[in-house]
Structure 1
Amino acid sequence: MPQYDKADIERRMAGAVESLKGDLSGLRTGRANTSLLDPVVVEVYGSMMPLSSVATVNAPEPRMLSVQVWDKSNVSAVEKGITKANLGLNPMTDGQTIRLPMPDLTEERRRELAKLAGQYAEKAKIAIRNVRRDAMESLKADEKAKDISEDERKRMEDEVQKLTDKFVAETDEAASKKEQEILSQ
Structure 2
Amino acid sequence: MARRYSDIKRGAKLQQAFTNLQAYEAAAATRPSKIGTRGARGLNKTVYIAPFTTHIDADEIVQARVKPEAFTIISPAILGGTTKADIAETLGAKSLVTFPSFRASRIVFFQNASRIATVARSERTNMEYLKYTGNTYSCPFGATVDADDEMEAFLDIKAALLTTFANSEVKRVSLSREFVGVGR
- TM-score, normalised to structure 1, is 0.20
Give the strand-richer structure, 1 or 2. 2
